[in-house]
Amino acid sequence: MLSSHHLRHQTFKTKRLSHFLLLNPNRYLKPSKSFSSNQSLKPRIPKSLLHQIDSCETLEQLKQIHARSIASGLAYDHLILTKIAESFLNSRNLDYATRVFVRIREPGIFVRNALIRAYSSSETPSFAISIYNEMWTGDDVGPDNYTFPFVFRACANYSASEKGREVHGVIIRIGYDSDRFIRSSLLGFYAACLGIGDAKQVFDESTERDVVFWNAMIMGYARAGGALEAFQLFKEMEFGTMRPNEGTMLGLIVACAMTKDMGLGREIHGYVKKNVGSMIGVRVGASLIDLYVKCGNLNYAQKLFDEMPERNTIVWNSLICGYSRSGSPTRAIELFMEMHASNVRPDNFTISSILSACAQTGALNLGDWVRRYVEKNGISDVFVATALVDMYCKCGSIALAREIFDQMPSRNIATWNAILWGHALHGHAQCTLDLFHEMTKWGVKPDSITFLAILSACAHAGLVEDGCQYLDSMKDYYKIPPTVEHYGCMVDLLGCAGLLREAKELIEKMEIEPNIVVWGSLLSACSIHGNVEIGEQAAAHVFELDQMDGGSYVLLSNMYAVARRFDGVKAVREMMAERGVRKPPGCSMIEVGNVVHEFVVADKAHPRSEEIYLVLDELSRKLKVAGYVPMLAIDQDK
């Protein structure tokens, strides 16, 4: 049984909840009796104020209206506070909405349900359960049939299996078990917390099955990775008297996306086109785009996107996120610009995706513009702030990243990891380690990504002893099994310090099979320190894993050249020619006027390539005049 976090304002006087960092009851005056909802002396509510709350478009406007209501003596008016709390919930600002909520004397069922709904899908679904618990205490308003679906969702997201069973008993006792939405959410809870088998048992034991109930079971299979089972249930549904609807199609598409089953996904797409028509709606369209993106087929995703007559924010998000995560950040940025020009309002997910694209391309100017847009329109939460931290770190502005990090009212593990990685990549090893200790003092438990950042920082600074201690701490104290990436960092750390034999021994003692990155790190270190013997052994393992890794051939050839073993250089070049291996071309990017330009060696695809090469020729001429002599490969005849 979960303990109840009391959210009423009397409780907040004596107990601070870490999630509500902005809430400090001592800032507010206790409501006087003259402003009680039962008194006739309460100020009259201007209709214009209610209209302004309904029509305000930005978070800042809403805060200004709230301040105006306080100045007008309406700080504790039930209707005003309820409408303001609902508005903040609609803007997804849960912290501020809760601050308003706890000032409402005897809040109604509607605002309570709205808060439970918001928290059920948040990072802290336990608070939804707390509000539900509070509804059973004292003279408070009890839950209704709109409360339970979101309580089950909160239990599923919080993995609160016992609480969910308890709530199941409650709905049977008070007669809500026949409500189709409650039954469907109950099914989703069982699938998420107790396994798909228990959910199927609930499904089989139900005598009344409407389309919502069938869809819930299909979605349960989908989220459990059972695409074939979901499809089989759909066939049973189709052969019976139940007609599938949009929700059914969404469940099947999610199932295909979870399993990356492109063939079955195309079959579902064909069914939708045949039975719904070629003009696919936004919900199904967004899910299909997400399916094609996850299956790695951006061409299908783009084609479907272009064919859609209507595109909402979710549809744009699906494709923007797809390009951003699939190594095409430039295209993601172009789509975001098109979205902005189409007057489609981005949400937190859009902002996070485009900031990720900016981080990949180094588009600092666009990232700055996105930050100003976020601040102006109040589109901010811990995910957006974390994406900003990550973007500034990767774009080279660690000071701005730290500024945002220090101002954040709440941080999750992803936020800490972003700033740790930022300082590690900038060579601030001691700062990274200091932040790690600060993070543990706050009670935030590190994960495997945290230790990747720590080991990377140690590698950059050559802190061999510290790196070994953190690896041991990770395994022994935090019980986090090292991955191949952690061992790669350790090999890099030992290799950069010249401890090549120790690095090789570490690889040979690994509990998991070393990959090409681990052996490649050792080969790179051998090339730096000129250890041909161990370098040859590392190269042999690399070529065994991937014969077409051009960079490793270049490292081996350079190592032979420095050691003046030109027979080895010749052998490597002949091997590359025989296997058809080519050195990977270099690539660079630069942002000019919010446009990212990409350049590849000897590439003439840029529309102004002739002018660019003329400038490069002039720079080369000036370098020669200044006495610059390039470092060429050693002449084999010498």
At 474 the pLDDT is 94
For residues 334 and 354, give the distance between their C-alpha atoms in angstroms, rounded to a whole number. Answer: 10
Average pLDDT of the residues of the chain: 83
At 593 the pLDDT is 64
Mean pLDDT, rounded, for 337-357: 92
Collect all residues with Cβ–Cβ distance below 8 Å to 230 and sequence separation of at least 6.
218, 219, 221, 222, 251, 252, 255
Phi, then psi, of 367 in degrees rounded to 5: -60, -40
Q: Answer whether residue 610 shows pLDDT above 90.
A: no
Q: Answer whether residue 207 shows pLDDT above 90.
A: no
Q: Is 448 exposed, middle or buried (0-12, 13-18, 19+ CB in 10 A)?
A: middle
Q: Answer whether residue 131 shows pLDDT above 50.
A: yes
Strand partners, 592: 595
At 162 the pLDDT is 92
245 SS3 class: coil
Q: Answer whether residue 31 shows pLDDT above 80.
A: no
Phi, then psi, of 289 in degrees rounded to 5: -60, -45
> Are 80 and 45 spatial neighbours (Cβ–Cβ below 8 Å)?
yes
Q: Given CA atoms 473, 475, 480, 482 in this order, what sign does their dihedral have?
A: positive
pLDDT tens by residue, 523-556: 999 998 999 999 999 999 998 888 888 888 888 8
22 SS3 class: coil
- Going by pLDDT thresholds of 50, 70 and 90, the confidence category of residue 76 is low
Mean pLDDT, rounded, for 22-31: 32
For residues 227 and 230, give the distance between their C-alpha atoms in angstroms, rounded to a whole number. Answer: 5
Query: What tokens appear for 514 in the block?
Result: 């070393």
Q: Answer whether residue 186 shows pLDDT above 80.
A: yes
- Going by pLDDT thresholds of 50, 70 and 90, the confidence category of residue 137 is confident
For residues 574 and 529, give the distance between their C-alpha atoms in angstroms, rounded to a whole number. Answer: 25
pLDDT tens by residue, 9-26: 333 322 333 333 233 333
Q: Answer whether residue 34 shows pLDDT above 50.
A: no
For residues 132 and 327, give the distance between their C-alpha atoms in angstroms, rounded to a whole number. Answer: 44
Q: Given CA atoms 105, 108, 112, 117 in this order, what sign does their dihedral have?
A: negative
For residues 495 and 459, give the distance between their C-alpha atoms in angstroms, rounded to a whole number. Answer: 9
Q: Which residue has the tokens 């007559």?
A: 309
Highest mean predicted confidence (pLDDT) among 105-114, 413-422, 629-638 = 413-422
Distances (CA, A) of 181 to 150, 187, 206, 216, 255: 10, 10, 14, 10, 21
Collect all residues with Cβ–Cβ distance below 8 Å to 591 and sequence separation of at least 6.
361, 362, 363, 364, 365, 366, 597
Mean pLDDT, rounded, for 95-109: 77
**Cα radius of gyration (the chain):** 30
pLDDT tens by residue, 253-275: 999 999 999 999 999 999 888 88
> Are 72 and 43 spatial neighbours (Cβ–Cβ below 8 Å)?
yes
Mean pLDDT, rounded, for 119-124: 84
Indicate the DSSP class of residue 512: S
Collect all residues with Cβ–Cβ distance below 8 Å to 244 and sequence separation of at least 6.
211, 234, 237, 238
> Are 370 and 404 spatial neighbours (Cβ–Cβ below 8 Å)?
no
At 306 the pLDDT is 93
Q: Which residue has the higher pLDDT, 614 or 101?
A: 614
Q: Answer whether residue 286 shows pLDDT above 60.
A: yes
Number of continuous H segments (helices) and E segments (strands) in the chain = 34, 2
Q: Which residue has the tokens 């099947």?
A: 252
Residue percentage of the chain with pLDDT more than 90: 44
Q: What angle do CA 357, 359, 365 make, to 5 degrees?
A: 95
At 607 the pLDDT is 78
> Are 130 and 6 spatial neighbours (Cβ–Cβ below 8 Å)?
yes
Query: What tokens appear for 635 in the block?
Result: 């002449």
pLDDT tens by residue, 415-427: 999 999 999 999 9
The alpha helices in 140-240, defined as continuous H runs, are 148-158, 161-174, 180-193, 196-205, 211-223, 227-239
Total Cβ atoms within 10 A of residue 251 = 26
Q: At what angle do helices 262-275 and 227-239 cross, to 10 degrees?
A: 30
- CB < 8 Å & 24+ apart, contacts of 156-163: 156/188, 156/189, 156/192, 156/193, 157/120, 157/121, 157/125, 157/192, 158/125, 158/126, 158/129, 159/192, 159/193, 160/2, 160/126, 160/129, 160/193, 161/193, 161/194, 162/1, 162/2, 163/1, 163/2, 163/129
> Are 465 and 433 spatial neighbours (Cβ–Cβ below 8 Å)?
no
The alpha helices in 57-158, defined as continuous H runs, are 59-71, 78-90, 94-101, 109-120, 126-134, 148-158
Residue percentage of the chain with pLDDT more than 70: 83
For residues 308 and 624, give the distance between their C-alpha atoms in angstroms, rounded to a whole number. Answer: 57
For residues 575 and 373, give the distance between their C-alpha atoms in angstroms, rounded to a whole number. Answer: 54
- Going by pLDDT thresholds of 50, 70 and 90, the confidence category of residue 633 is very low
At 38 the pLDDT is 40
Strand partners, 590: 597
Phi, then psi, of 590 in degrees rounded to 5: -145, 145
**End-to-end CA distance of the chain, in Å?**
80
- Among 456, 461, 384, which residue's Cα sits nearest to residue 420? 456
Stated as kind and residue range, the H or E segment containing 597 is: strand 595-600
At 51 the pLDDT is 65
Query: What tokens appear for 40 in the block?
Result: 């006739």
For residues 293 and 302, give the distance between their C-alpha atoms in angstroms, rounded to a whole number. Answer: 9
> Are 542 and 523 spatial neighbours (Cβ–Cβ below 8 Å)?
yes
> Dmax over Cα atoms in the chain, in whole Å?
104
- Among 268, 348, 272, which residue's Cα sits nearest to residue 308? 272
At 29 the pLDDT is 28
The distance from CA 18 to its chain's CA centroid, rounded to whole angstroms, is 22
- Among 451, 372, 440, 383, which residue's Cα sits nearest to residue 411? 383
